[in-house]
Amino acid sequence: MSAGAASTATLTVSTATGEFTFTESLRELADVTCSATYRGDGSHTPATARATVTITK
C-alpha cells in the first residue's frame, strides 16, 4: 500500500479451530498481498500462506 493510503484492518482468530478472518478497507487501486504465518507447536507444524488481491474499482 502506498504512503498516504487509508486502511482499516481487523483480525479475528479462533484458537479452537485455527481459522482466522482478516478485513481491510483500502481507498486506492492496488495489488495488496496479505500473509499469515503460524509458528507451530508440539502438535502442529509451522505454516505460511499468502494471497494477493487486485483492487480495481
Residue type, 40: G
Task: Supply the pLDDT for residue 1.
Answer: 40
Q: What is the pLDDT of residue 52?
A: 85
Amino acid identity of residue 46, one-letter, is P
**pLDDT tens digits, one per residue of 3-53:** 444 556 666 777 777 777 777 777 778 888 888 888 888 988 888 888 888
- Confidence (pLDDT) at 6: 52
DSSP string of 15-36?
TTT--EEEEEEESS-EEEEEEE
Q: For residues 14 and 22, is the Cβ–Cβ distance under 8 A? A: no
Question: Does the pTM exceed 0.85?
Answer: no
Cβ neighbours of residue 42 under 8 Å, at least 6 residues apart?
none
Position 9 scores a pLDDT of: 64
